[in-house]
A and B are shown apart, each in its own frame.
Chain A
Amino acid sequence: MKEELFASGRNIPNIDPTLNIWHWQIPSYLFLGGLAAGILFFAGVFTIMGKEEQMSATVKKAPLVAPFALILGLFLLFLDLKHKLWFWQLYTTIRLESPMGWGAWVLMIMTPISMVWSASYLTELIPGWDWKFKFLKTFESWVIRNRVLIAWPMVIYAVILGIYTGILLSAFNARPLWNTSILGPLFLVSGMSTGAAVILLVSKNHEERKIIGRIDLLLIVVELFFITHLFMGDKAGSEAQINAVNLFLGGSFTAPFFAFVVILGLLFPAILEIMELRGFKVPIAVPAILILLGGFIFRFLIVEAGQITRYLY
């Protein structure tokens, strides 16, 4: 029999028996970041394509959610910090090697963009809205004129933000479950899918929903493919990686993962969306909400499980 134990020391809360320094805040932060990225991505893309009017919920209404999601996300990141009063130190340095660092910066850039974007539609969306100050009105008209110009960086940053939500984790070589390059694209796709879900909830336009529904279906298929890839990649990896992925394939995370993420969060909404596309009457809120829930639980499980996995012990 092989026995390994701590002869002394190391009963560090949050590290023994399992590392658990990140709780619900970080997965929520990642979820909100991905969701905002998805929304802003679609808003930007359809603007660039000149489809503001056909896709008005995508371009105009849904982005209203983004600044709130981003600010809430940043707030949750703040909540996660143990040395909160030193928070500002995040923005006194630019450290490109640190995903946490550039993530904070991307959010810092993305949040004002999303605010400006949403604000520029307020007058159009809310009858009687008045910016009161002259300079705001001037700025508004500037933004409205240059929407396509703003859409470009917004799309690019949205992709970066989406990928970032995965890279924040995959950069940790020390956690075998996370340590795979597929996590960035996977989180990006998943983020877009949750963004699409928000649009589906907001949109009243059948045509728009159909387009977004189709895109979402594609995203779900890609996401399932990436998840399979993630597992297969880990399965073919080191012993630590095999142990890590086994948490999801027979281990303690298997049931919640397959029930809530794969079935309820991906397969079931996909089927509903297919039915909707085939003309069945499906209350569209159902798949959308399931996707959102699935997306959140997905991040929560990956963050939790990843912290348990280790090379050494």
Chain B
Amino acid sequence: MRYAMAIDTRKCVGCSDCVVACQTENDVPNGFCRDWVKEVVDGTYPNVSIELRSERCNHCANSPCVRCCPTGASHFEEGGIVLVEHNKCIGCGACIESCPYEARYSHPDGYVDKCTFCIHRVRQGNDPACVSVCPTRCMYFGDLEDPNSKLVNVLKNRKFKSLAPEAGTQPQIFYLL
């Protein structure tokens, strides 16, 4: 099993529903977030393009955050989901420094927090909160090793990229172009 996400930049309108849904689903405290939306504008009026990307922890297969964690709080769960065990985390900040995507933040309660791929929902067979709320249905979540999944299907049929592959972390979120 290898959980991953594909996000269609052609359909995403940057509405940020994914961001609020994550807040309310996961009690993300005010002023913090586990996901966010980037807007990249390129060109000169009137030849301008926009790329909108909903971003979060990439659940990297080669994840520096897990490697650098001194206590083992950052670890892999089933399907490669990268998780922080709050009660093991000492808040040293090493993982925050190690993440090229700046996907982690220091929770006011002391531990480090980030996207969990909504593992509590996924275990019950549901999509993550952000995926399940997206009005444009531009996010696909699933198992990369399941050849019949919608996720594998879109990745087969569309061009895609991942973010900062040069960082060597093998990110598992793909942006359909």
Contact = CB atoms under 8 A, between A and B. Distances in A.
Contacts of A93: 70-72
Contacts of B73: 89
Interface stretch (B2-10, B32-40, B121-129, B153-161): B32-40
A72 to B, nearest CB: 17
Nearest to A82: B91
A142 B168 CA distance: 51
Interface in A256-313: 307, 310-313
Contacts of A4: 38-41
A15 B90 contact: no
Contacts of B136: none
B68 A99 contact: yes
Contacts of B105: 12, 14-15
Contact of B40 (A3, A9, A21): A3
A146 interface: no
A95 interface: yes
B70 A95 contact: yes
B101 A81 contact: no
A139 interface: no
Identify whether the interface residues of A are mostly helix, strand, loop, or mixed. loop
Given A173-B98, A173-B167, A312-B100, A12 B31 contact: yes
A256 B166 CA distance: 31
A21 B88 contact: no
A89 B88 CA distance: 6
A69 to B, nearest CB: 20
A33 B7 CA distance: 45
B92 to A, nearest CB: 5
A86 B88 contact: yes
B93 A22 contact: yes
Interface in B41-87: 41-44, 52, 64, 67-73, 87
Interface string B97-128: 11111100110011110000000000000000
Nearest to A179: B167
Nearest to A239: B166
28 contacts: A1-B43, A4-B40, A4-B41, A9-B36, A9-B37, A12-B105, A21-B106, A80-B93, A82-B90, A82-B91, A83-B91, A86-B90, A87-B90, A89-B89, A90-B92, A92-B71, A93-B70, A97-B67, A98-B70, A99-B68, A100-B69, A101-B69, A171-B98, A172-B64, A172-B98, A173-B64, A174-B64, A240-B166
Ranked nearest first, the 10 interchain pairs of A and B with the lowest CB-CB distance are: A82-B91, A9-B36, A101-B70, A83-B110, A83-B91, A8-B16, A174-B100, A10-B36, A9-B33, A100-B70
